[in-house]
C-alpha cells in the first residue's frame, strides 16, 4: 500500500495574508528582507489599501511561515525562495501584479520574474543586491572575512550579534528604537533558520541574471546604506534593461521602516508612471 504525499498549500506554507480591496484591478505583493517578516510593511500598506489588492507573505523560516517545510539544504539558495513566491502566484492565480521586495527579497522577485514574467507587471526593489561579497572590479559591501565573522558571531552569540547588526544596518542612530525593533525581530527567528538565510544571501551571485530581466523595474536606494552601497544600485541600474534608479532622502538599509513616507511616495509615483 502506498501513501500519497500531503498536498502543499503555498498560501498556508508562507502565511499569505490578503488586505485592501479584493475587487481592485491592481494587485501589490510585498515581500520582506532578512530578519523581518510581513509586518515590516505595516507603515506602507495602509497607503495602498483603498485602491489596490494587497498580498503579504513570509519567507520560509521567517514570521509565521510553516517551519515544518524548512530544510537547511533546500533553502541554501535564493531560487528556493523564488519558487515559493511563484507557488503563491500560481495558487492565487495572479497576473500582472506589482512586486515590492526589500533587500534579498528584491533578488527573489527578480529570479521569479525572469522565470514567469506573466505574473509581474512591475518590480520595485528596495535596497536590493545581486551579490553582497566583494569581487574583482565589483564592490558588494562585504569582504569574505566580514562574512565569515558574521557566521561565527551568529553561531557563538546570536542575540548580541543581532543587536549590533541591527544598529549598523538600520542606521538612524538618533532613533535607537528602530534598531531595537529590528534586533528583536531578528532574535525572534530561530538561529538555524537565520544562519541558513544568511548563507543563501551571502553566497548568492546573480549578476549574470540581471540582463535577463525585462520587467519594468524601480530601484529604490537610500543615500547611505552599509549593507548595500549605492554603487551596487548603480550596477543593477546599468545591467537591468528596463530599470530606473531613485535615491530617496533617507539613510539606512530599511527605509520602509525608518522613512515610510519617502518609500510610499516612490511606490506611488512608479505606479502612476
Q: How many CB atoms lie within 10 A of CB 171?
A: 23
Is 103 among the catalytic positions?
yes
> Catalytic residue among 58, 253, 256, 258, which?
253
Look at the block and give the residue holding cell 561565527.
Answer: 152
Is 225 among the catalytic positions?
yes
> Catalytic residue among 52, 102, 225, 258, which?
225
> Catalytic residue among 65, 103, 185, 243, which?
103
CB 44, CB 256: distance < 8 Å: yes
- What are the distances in angstroms from CA 172 to CA 90, 135, 167, 175, 255? 39, 29, 8, 6, 10
- What are the distances in angstroms from CA 91 to CA 24, 139, 231? 18, 38, 37
Calpha distance 235→129 (Å, rounded):
9
The residues assigned a catalytic role are 103, 225, 253
Amino acid at each position: 500500500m502506498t501513501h500519497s504525499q500531503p498536498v502543499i498549500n503555498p498560501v498556508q506554507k508562507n502565511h499569505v495574508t490578503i488586505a485592501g480591496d479584493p475587487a481592485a484591478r491592481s494587485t501589490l505583493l510585498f515581500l520582506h528582507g532578512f530578519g523581518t517578516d510581513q509586518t515590516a510593511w505595516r507603515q506602507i500598506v495602509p497607503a495602498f489599501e483603498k485602491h489596490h489588492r494587497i498580498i503579504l507573505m513570509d519567507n520560509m523560516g521567517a514570521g509565521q511561515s510553516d517551519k515544518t517545510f524548512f530544510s537547511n539544504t533546500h533553502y541554501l539558495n535564493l531560487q528556493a525562495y523564488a519558487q515559493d513566491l511563484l507557488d503563491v502566484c500560481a495558487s492565487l492565480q495572479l497576473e500582472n501584479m506589482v512586486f515590492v521586495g526589500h533587500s534579498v527579497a528584491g533578488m527573489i522577485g527578480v529570479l521569479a520574474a525572469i522565470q514567469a514574467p506573466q505574473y509581474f507587471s512591475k518590480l520595485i526593489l528596495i535596497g536590493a543586491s545581486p551579490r553582497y561579497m566583494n569581487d574583482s572590479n565589483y564592490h558588494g559591501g562585504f569582504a569574505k572575512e566580514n562574512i565569515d565573522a558574521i557566521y561565527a558571531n551568529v553561531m557563538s552569540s546570536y542575540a548580541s550579534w543581532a543587536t549590533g547588526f541591527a544598529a549598523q544596518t538600520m542606521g538612524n542612530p538618533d532613533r535607537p528604537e528602530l534598531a531595537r525593533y529590528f534586533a528583536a525581530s531578528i532574535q525572534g527567528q530561530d538561529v538555524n533558520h537565520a544562519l541558513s538565510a544568511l548563507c543563501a544571501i551571502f553566497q548568492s551571485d546573480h549578476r549574470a541574471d540581471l540582463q535577463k530581466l525585462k520587467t519594468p523595474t524601480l530601484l529604490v536606494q537610500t543615500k547611505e546604506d552599509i549593507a548595500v552601497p549605492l554603487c551596487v544600485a548603480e550596477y543593477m541600474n546599468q545591467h537591468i534593461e528596463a530599470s530606473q534608479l531613485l535615491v530617496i532622502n533617507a539613510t539606512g538599509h530599511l527605509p520602509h521602516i525608518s522613512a515610510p513616507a519617502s518609500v510610499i511616495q516612490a511606490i506611488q509615483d512608479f505606479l502612476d508612471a
